[in-house]
Amino acid sequence: MAEVKKVIFVALGFPNIEKRRFLYSSLMMEFQRKGHDVFVIAADDDRKQSEIVIEKGIKILRVPSLSLFGKSKIIKGLSNVLLPYLYKRALKKHKIALDFDLILMPTPPITLIDVVLWIKKKSKGKLYLILRDIFPQNAVDLKMMKPNSFIHSFFRKKEVKLYEASDLIGCMSQANIDFVKKHNPGLDTKKLHLLPNWADLDEIDEVDLSATKEQYGLQDKIVAIFGGNMGKPQKLENIVNLAKSCQDIEDLVFFLVGRGTERERIYKMVNDLGLKNMIIKESLPKNEYNNILRIADIGLISLSEDFTIPNYPSKVLAYYQFKKPVLASVDLNTDFGTMQEEINCGYWSEAGNIEAFKENLLKLYKDKKLREELGENGYNYLKTHLTTEIAYETIMEHM
């Protein structure tokens, strides 16, 4: 294709770059560093009117919307359906020139295809889909949507339309590529290629963490941490049941950090079981969470065994970054577990098999040298395969 000068990133949400970096803000900053003119459009629940702001030199059109991340499924669903119309109206209102060479769109949500197609038609640019969520099948797997229902058919048509309109599709793993091929037999498979998740490789500061240990009563403890969304996909009962089976290990603590639709239910479950070896916190400031990660010994991953789609939990990148061995309980349709084996950075077992989950945990619990070795392997893999610069290069090479 012609030289890529102007890039638009059509996002669902985009936290303030000045306050917090995340997957996509890091990627957009990499595009900017490489000399591209970057523009972002994103929803903002708290805003009363659309406004263009500049953060770290990147123009961001923030558009007011209904609640996209609240508890009401109806409001969230309606918000996602309305979003493309709100984006289109805001782009017109601010007289944004639709002359982009590259249109980047991540999933979720697939509903943004309507505004993206409009931008593509006007710009005559290429559409690159960053596939991070295979919807609506994931909703079917979690019993949140009935297969072949009206709403399922509505979203499935959007999904097919999105794949057909995309010039290139970056997938998290080979299992994701295989799944999309199998369930979309008419799709041009040349579009599909690997685009693993990525992270900035920041230096890990050596700081005194005795105050953090004292704050949470973690002196002389082995800490297994879970940080991230607490929703149905994560099925945190796996971790709660593991903690229940380990109550006799006095120096082992399970530390859960995050928000999500299942957080209150999991918190109640822990209280009802009377578990004294679990700490549950709502999302913490980034530096405080990083301090917990520093003193942690094991990084926990949990996925529902009901998934037929292959998921790749992005939270593992933080574990790699802080050199923590990975202990995973995952479904058999993801290749995440086997990928951890190949990297040699941790252990995995089938979701729901608490006995195997505990057996793997004890291997790590008993052997500090093993934990350090596996953690170092994860860090080295991140450094050589999963940096933001590598993700940028992958996108541009395929373009």
pLDDT tens sequence across 258-283: 888 888 899 999 899 999 999 998 87
Average pLDDT over residues 307-316: 87
Name the average pLDDT for the chain.
89
What pLDDT is attached to residue 382? 95
Helix (H, G, I), strand (E, B) or coil at 282: coil
Domain 210-385 - what CATH class? alpha beta
Q: Which residues contact 315 (CB under 8 A, 6 or more apart)?
A: 226, 227, 228, 299, 301
- Fold match, 6-195 / 210-385: yes
Domain 6-195 - what CATH class? alpha beta
Helix (H, G, I), strand (E, B) or coil at 365: helix
Q: Phi and psi (nearest 5°) for 171?
A: -110, 150
The predicted-structure confidence for 329-384, as pLDDT tens digits, reads as follows 998 989 999 999 999 999 999 998 999 999 999 999 999 999 999 999 999 999 99
Its pTM stands at 0.88
In DSSP terms, which residues pair with 63 in a beta bridge? 43
The predicted-structure confidence for 169-203, as pLDDT tens digits, reads as follows 999 999 999 999 999 998 999 999 999 999 988 75
Q: Which amino acid is at 287?
A: N
Helix (H, G, I), strand (E, B) or coil at 196: coil
**Band of the pLDDT at 314, cuts 50, 70, 90?**
confident
In DSSP terms, which residues pair with 9 in a beta bridge? 40, 104
Parallel/antiparallel/unpaired status of strands 278-281 and 252-257: parallel
User: Are the C-beta atoms of residues 364 and 358 closer than 8 Å to each other?
Assistant: no
CA dihedral 357, 313, 370, 364 (to 10 degrees): -30
**Where exactly are the structural domains of the chain?**
6-195, 210-385
User: What percent of the chain has pLDDT above 90?
Assistant: 60
